[in-house]
Each structure stands twice: as C-alpha cells, then as structure tokens.
Chain A
Amino acid sequence: MRCAEVEDRIGALADGELVEAEARDALEHLRSCPTCRAAHERVLALRTALEQHAPPLAAPDRLRAAVRARLEGPGLAARRPVSWRWLAAAAVVVGLIGGTWQVATTWSSGRALADQVLATHVRSLMPGHLTDVASTDQHTVKPWFNGRLDYSPAVTDFAAQGFPLIGGRLDYAGSRPVAALVYGRRQHVINVLLWPTGSGPAGGPAALTRQGYHMLHWVGPQYTYWVVSDLATAELGVFADLLRRAEAGAAPS
C-alpha cells in the first residue's frame, strides 16, 4: 500500500473497521513510513485524550425521574417497581399466615441485597474497576479466585453463544466478599455475582428493573446468582439459562 491509500484508512484502522488483510497491509506500511505512522499515533493519542477528559456520562437522577414521570404520567407513577412491590405484598401475606415476621425480613434484606448488587455493577463500569483479572480464558479466571475466596466457582466462557467472558473480580455484597464474573454482549457489560447457596430452598429466577438496569436472581443447588446488565431482559434471560444449564452440568461445549 502507498501513502495515499493508507492515509484514507488510518482512521478505519484505529477504529478496527478494516478487514484483516487490509489492516495487515496498512500496518506493514506504517512500519516503513514515519509520516503515516505519526498520523496513526495522533489518532490514538487523540483517543486517549478524549477517554481521559470527555468520558461517557451518567444521566442525572433528576433526569431519570423526570423522564419516568413524563412517560408514566399521573396515576401511573406509583406502580413501580413492579416485581418488588409484588414480592412485598406476597411476603406480607405469607408473614401474616405464618404468624412470623421472618419472611418479611428476608424480603427487605433481599431488597437491600439488590441495591448492593446494583451498586457493584455501577461501580464496575467506572474506568479501571471492571476486572481484577482480565481474561477470556476460563482456565485463568477460575484459579484466580483460589486463595482469595473460601470457594472457587465454576467459570464457563460463553463466547460461542455470543456472551464472551471478559474476566473476574473480587467484590463485596451481602456482608461478604463474593466472586464477580464479567461477560460481554456487544457493547454491554454483564456482571454475575455468585456465592455458595446456604440452607435456603432453591428457587427463581426473579426479574427486576432498577434505574434502567435489569437484574435476574435465582438460587441454584450450588450457587446463588445475581445477574445485572443494561442488556434487554430477553437477552439477559438467554444468558441466565446458559449459566443455569452450566451449573446443572449440561454446559454446551
């Protein structure tokens, strides 16, 4: 490739929009041409400057509330959040019938846990917080948890199903350190928090939406799972099924 051709492709090269053969040719030209190499470096330097100083922004809470209020209109606003409201009612009924306050307590701690799980997800999206061990290799991520936790969860890469493993992280939820597995789906990030199931009954999954994030929660025979993402619920459900099948030992290979 000559300069004139490469010049046109420098942006596309840096953006990962060239097909492999073209990218290879362009890179080869860069090696021998200081002018084009400098131009390529400028694109990358500019990217770094933008990353540092012009980050993606979080919608202010005020805006989120205003959008919801305007969408739902008067009279409709009170029905959120659906899942937990329903669970609250169910818990109260069960509590009354059973003559115990324990279920209601479980529910309110479940809600507090959902808040904590959501907080870990939001925090993980901040620069540099996503993974402690960044690897797409399940055989690297699983042993990483050894010695850091008192359990070592099975780690499965679902790249073939469109949910590649990104890495793992130590996080904190429910008053204990927990394993966080990070998966990707296009530009979306999925966090999976899991810890060994205690003595409680298996169940779920329950779905809820908070602050625009979707969460799925279930209690499997071995592990208790929380899955959080901004991914649409339907796709998140597909992913959750993969995890559940993997735990059941029927993981697609």
Chain B
Amino acid sequence: MEQDLVERFEAVALPHLDAAYTLARYLMRDDATAQDVVQEAYLRALKYFDRFRGGDARAWVLAIVRNTSHTWRKRQSHYGVEFDERVHSESVEEQTPEAALLRAADREMVRRSLDQLPLELREVIVLREIQGLSYKEIAAVAGIPIGTVMSRLSRARGRLEQLLGVAAGRE
C-alpha cells in the first residue's frame, strides 16, 4: 500500500526534479542549499500527495519547492545568516548601451544580476524566462494574481536591465 503510494508519487513528481532543482538553485543561489531544499520539498510533497488532484504536476511540485525555499530563507535569516539582496549592487556603473550589451554577453554579470534581484522578483523571472511557465502557471506557483505576475515581471526586467547597465530608470 505504502509502496504503491510512493511509486505513484514518484511517477508524478520525479519527472520534474530538474525543474525543481533549477528553481531552488536560482532562488537559493547555492548548490548545496538548493539540493537540501529540493530533498525537503519532495518529502513535503509526498506527505501532501493525497491533496494532489491531478492536473499540472510541474506547477504543483514547483509551488512546494518555492514555499520550501521561502521557509528555508526565513529560517536562515532567523539564525542570523542574513541574505543581503543589495550586496555588490554599488559595483554597477553607468555605461553606454553598446558597452552594456557587450557586458550582457558576460556570464558572470548575468548570474550576478539575477542573484541581486529581490526574491519575489527573482522567482517570477526564473519561472518565466528560464523555466518557460505561462503567467497562469506562475500565478499558481507563487500564489499571486496574474496582475501581480505581470507587474513583478516588469519590475524584474527593469531592474535586470539596470543591473546590466542598460536603460536605467524604467521602473
């Protein structure tokens, strides 16, 4: 009986492990922490599997990974390991769009800009641009209305453009 449950759960949830890891990795910004978060998220998901009524399994798994990530960060900041969203942000200089586009082709810069986004902006841009979710799916994963998805995406893009040195002040 229990074996059967685990097997059904694995068939539903394991195909989305890459997506789960991708989200956790970009949200937590650290490989080891991301792996811990995914493990905890999958145990949680199994626990609540009886509440899964079919439908979009990826969105369901991602919502649990997202919530686990948030809980994890709260726990860490509670113990004084504060995540400082603004660390390094003063290093971004004004530059011409041409130079900025060149910088945009730089891996380090793109990664660091992403890392500097506040969590609520980072999660929508990761779900949309890296994981290819629709607005409706993002709304379900993050537990926010579609209008909020749109305004957060717009802010996230403005901020990323700024961080990459392009067209400051769109926000």
Listed in ascending order, the chain A residues whose CB lies under 8 Å from chain B are 8, 11-12, 15, 17, 38-39, 42-43, 45-47, 49-60, 62-64, 66-68, 70-72, 76, 79, 82, 187, 209, 212-214, 230-233
Contact = CB atoms under 8 A, between A and B. Distances in A.
Given A56-B22, A76-B6, A212-B15, 7 more contacts: A12-B135, A17-B135, A52-B105, A60-B31, A63-B39, A71-B10, A212-B18
Which 9 pairs across A and B sit closest by C-beta, in order of nearness?
A: A53-B110, A59-B21, A230-B15, A212-B14, A53-B107, A49-B104, A59-B17, A57-B22, A63-B35
Interface of A is mostly: helix
**Which of B3, B14, B101, B104 has the largest number of chain A CB atoms within 10 A?**
B14
Interface of B is mostly: helix
A42 B58 CA distance: 29
B7 to A, nearest CB: 8
10 contacts: A12-B150, A55-B130, A58-B18, A60-B21, A60-B35, A63-B38, A63-B39, A214-B15, A230-B16, A233-B11
Nearest to B108: A53
A214 B14 CA distance: 10
Contacts of A82: 7
B20 A59 contact: yes
Interface string B123-161: 001001111101100000000000000100110010011
Contacts of B167: 38-39, 42
B129 A79 contact: no
Contacts of B110: 49-50, 52-54
B170 A63 contact: no
A253 to B, nearest CB: 30
Contacts of B119: none
A76 B4 CA distance: 11
B47 to A, nearest CB: 11
Interface of B: 3, 6-7, 9-12, 14-22, 25-26, 31, 35, 38-39, 42-43, 46, 57-58, 101, 104-107, 110-111, 114, 125, 128-132, 134-135, 150, 153-154, 157, 160-161, 164, 166-167, 170
A11 B157 contact: yes
B35 A66 contact: yes
Contact of A57 (B11, B18, B105): B18
A38 B154 CA distance: 15
Contacts of A51: 129
A53 B115 CA distance: 13
B161 A58 contact: no
Nearest to B31: A60
A82 B8 CA distance: 13
**Which of A8, A12, A53 has the largest number of chain B CB atoms within 10 A?**
A53
B129 A50 contact: yes
B22 A11 contact: no
